[in-house]
């Protein structure tokens, strides 16, 4: 930079404090050119840097927690950037500080929240929000969104519960049409089995399977899949138990759709002489108790504190409130020794199973003096399905439960069980079952929420023999991540849970294992518009 320029009477020239005379004009011109070049390069560099300085200044203004009001502040903020040092760490700390501050503050009542993130950005620009206001608005928006998602999830679970508890129109139609056919068609009323085969019903050289259900289509799938998967179908005898209202339709279906060479017997609960109110007083009380009926058929939301409940817990509670749990059909398995006094061993099946392998070896399993051959559900690859211990079913804060049960004891599964009826008749399993049902009723259902498995876990305690898990795969009705390859290998697959394969809420990739055994060409199925989903 030029510091001074002037002349004295002797015509000497000064430039930068250096004395030159007229004879040095050539040197002056050379030095001036150098200075000019230096000045040019300086201006060029400044012209290049100034836009970046402007941008950085804008960034500091936008990102800063405190507004810079002096060149000293601006220098502190811009310095690290100009020197190539990252200032993001300090900015992150400032941001955390603001978030922590906002997190402890109350969100003002009546605060008007933007409907979208774009609207929030727009309001920031227009209203020039500082960082604290922005963080507060963002927190309020997120909390609102979380509430809406939570409410939506609970609504979804409620709708799924109602869908699972209802009877699809097609299945209702099927039952009505078959009942009408039973009354008008003598062939639909023919004796099952035919008179010459009646002795087989108590012949222990056959393989006897028991199914208790009021779902005609589901029963047909269980029977058809068992017969088609069997290496010796001529040895199969199915004993189907249904309720009085479904008996005519169920009988008509199997009379019109025989599964020869297997044998099928259909009986209604009203046709068993042993099933009297005197023999099942507790279950009669369960079915008619006002409080219990209200629990299963009433408002499932009233009185529930959803703010303290996770969706997963709420789903489990809803599943436990299925109306089927107060149906006599669901408790009938506890009376098998009395209902079939001449049989020694039976396999009991739920109506939401599919048989994929020959079940004959089940009759040769040595239960080692135990009554119930079942798959344990406390260990396995699937942590969601196979992780059930007694603590998952019982309230261990109740003194009776805490006194008699171990929370870490392994649970087992209903749905496919091998029952040694001879060994069973030597026990007090039925009496124990009744006793604990009574105690739970007395305690206002505080020991466990009603269902068939919890009292059975107590009644069969010490009488269970664990069988290989490949015989019975569970969870296809509530576990969408079920391994399909494992499904293919299982002998019996069980759609336990809400997502039954005959419902719209069934899992698409698991439904074909069930639908392959539905005869969609059957006239009754077609006329009721039961279409392959």
The sign of the torsion formed by the CA atoms of 439, 441, 447, 451 equals positive
Please give the chain's pLDDT, 533 residues, in tens. 434 434 444 444 443 444 444 444 444 455 555 656 666 666 566 555 555 555 555 555 554 444 454 444 545 555 555 555 556 677 777 777 877 877 777 777 777 888 887 887 787 778 877 777 777 877 888 888 887 887 777 777 777 766 666 788 999 999 999 999 999 999 999 999 999 999 999 999 999 999 999 999 999 999 999 999 999 999 999 999 999 999 999 999 999 999 999 999 999 999 999 988 778 876 666 655 555 555 554 555 544 555 667 766 666 666 656 666 667 888 899 999 999 999 999 999 999 999 999 999 999 999 999 999 999 999 876 766 788 999 999 999 999 999 999 999 999 999 999 999 999 999 999 999 999 988 988 888 889 876 789 999 999 999 999 999 999 999 999 877 888 999 999 999 999 988 999 998 899 999 999 999 999 999 999 999 997 65
- Three-state SS for 212? strand
Task: State the Cα–Cα distance between residues 78 and 80, nearest whole angstrom.
Answer: 6
Q: Is 320 buried (19+), middle (13-18) or exposed (0-12) by CB count in 10 A? A: middle
What pLDDT is recorded for position 426? 97
Instruction: Check: CB of residue 418 under 8 Å from CB of residue 437.
Output: no
Place of tokens 């502040």: 73
Q: What count of other Cβ atoms lies within 10 Å of the Cβ of residue 204?
A: 14
The full DSSP string for 154-192 is HHHHHHHHHHHHS--HHHHHHHHHHHHHHHH-GGGG--S
Strand blocks (E) in 222-367: 236-242, 263-268, 345-349, 353-355
Q: How many residues does the chain have?
A: 533
Place of tokens 């089927």: 324
Q: Is 475 buried (19+), middle (13-18) or exposed (0-12) by CB count in 10 A? A: buried
Query: DSSP class of residue 270?
Result: G
Nearest to 514 by CA among 159, 220, 204: 220
Nearest to 67 by CA among 158, 1, 128: 128
Task: State the Cα–Cα distance between residues 418 and 58, nearest whole angstrom.
Answer: 77
Q: Is 197 buried (19+), middle (13-18) or exposed (0-12) by CB count in 10 A? A: middle
What pLDDT is recorded for position 293? 54
Cis peptide before 387 (omega within 30 of 0): no
pTM above 0.95, yes or no: no
What pLDDT is recorded for position 5? 38
Instruction: Check: CB of residue 306 under 8 Å from CB of residue 315.
Output: no
What pLDDT is recorded for position 283? 64
What pLDDT is recorded for position 74? 47
Task: State the Cα–Cα distance between residues 386 and 377, nearest whole angstrom.
Answer: 5
Q: Say how many CA atoms lie within 13 Å of 128 toward its Cβ.
A: 3
């Amino acid at each position: 930079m030029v510091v001074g320029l002037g002349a004295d009477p002797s015509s000497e020239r000064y430039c930068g404090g250096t004395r030159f005379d007229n004879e040095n004009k050539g040197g002056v011109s050379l030095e001036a050119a150098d200075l000019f070049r230096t000045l040019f390069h300086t201006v060029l560099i400044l012209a290049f840097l100034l836009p970046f300085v402007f941008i950085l200044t804008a960034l500091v203004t936008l990102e800063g927690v405190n507004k810079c009001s002096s060149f000293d502040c601006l220098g502190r903020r811009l310095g690290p950037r100009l020197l190539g040092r990252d200032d993001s760490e300090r900015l992150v700390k400032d941001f955390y500080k603001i978030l922590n501050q906002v997190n402890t503050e109350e969100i003002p009542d009546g605060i008007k929240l933007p409907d979208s993130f774009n609207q929030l950005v727009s309001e920031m620009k227009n209203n020039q929000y500082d960082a604290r206001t922005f963080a507060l608005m963002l927190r309020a928006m997120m909390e609102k969104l979380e509430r809406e998602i939570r409410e939506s999830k609970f609504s979804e679970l409620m709708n799924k519960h109602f869908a699972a508890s209802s009877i699809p129109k097609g299945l209702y139609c099927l039952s009505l049409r078959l009942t009408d056919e039973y009354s008008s068609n003598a062939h639909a009323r023919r004796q099952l089995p035919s008179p010459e085969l009646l002795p087989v019903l108590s012949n222990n050289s056959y393989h006897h399977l028991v199914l208790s259900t009021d779902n005609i289509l589901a029963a047909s799938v269980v029977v058809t899949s068992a017969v088609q998967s069997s290496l010796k179908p001529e040895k199969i005898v199915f004993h189907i138990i249904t309720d009085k209202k479904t008996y005519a339709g169920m009988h008509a279906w199997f009379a019109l759709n025989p599964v020869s060479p297997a044998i099928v017997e259909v009986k209604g609960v009203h046709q068993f002489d042993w099933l009297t109110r005197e023999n099942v007083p507790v279950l009669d009380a369960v079915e008619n108790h006002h409080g219990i009926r209200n629990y299963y058929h009433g408002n499932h939301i009233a009185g529930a504190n959803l703010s303290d409940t996770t969706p997963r817990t709420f789903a489990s509670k809803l599943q436990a409130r299925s109306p089927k749990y107060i149906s006599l059909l669901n408790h009938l398995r506890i009376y098998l020794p009395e209902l079939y006094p001449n049989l020694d061993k039976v396999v009991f099946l739920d109506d939401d199973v599919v048989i994929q392998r020959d079940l004959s070896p089940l009759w040769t399993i040595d239960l080692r003096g135990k009554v119930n051959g079942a798959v344990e559900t406390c260990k396995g690859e699937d942590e969601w399905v196979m992780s059930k211990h007694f603590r998952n079913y019982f309230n261990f804060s109740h003194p009776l439960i805490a006194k008699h049960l171990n929370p870490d004891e392994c649970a087992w599964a209903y749905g496919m069980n091998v029952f040694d009826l001879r060994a069973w008749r030597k026990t007090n399993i039925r009496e124990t079952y009744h006793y604990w049902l009574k105690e739970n009723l007395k305690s206002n259902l505080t020991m466990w929420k009603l269902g068939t498995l919890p009292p059975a876990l107590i009644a069969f305690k010490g009488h269970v023999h664990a069988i290989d898990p490949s015989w019975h795969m569970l969870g296809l009705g509530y576990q969408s991540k079920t391994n399909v390859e494992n499904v293919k290998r299982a002998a019996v697959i069980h759609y336990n849970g809400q997502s039954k394969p005959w419902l719209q809420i069934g899992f698409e990739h698991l439904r074909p294992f069930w639908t392959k055994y539905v005869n969609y060409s059957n006239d009754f199925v077609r006329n009721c518009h039961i279409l392959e989903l």
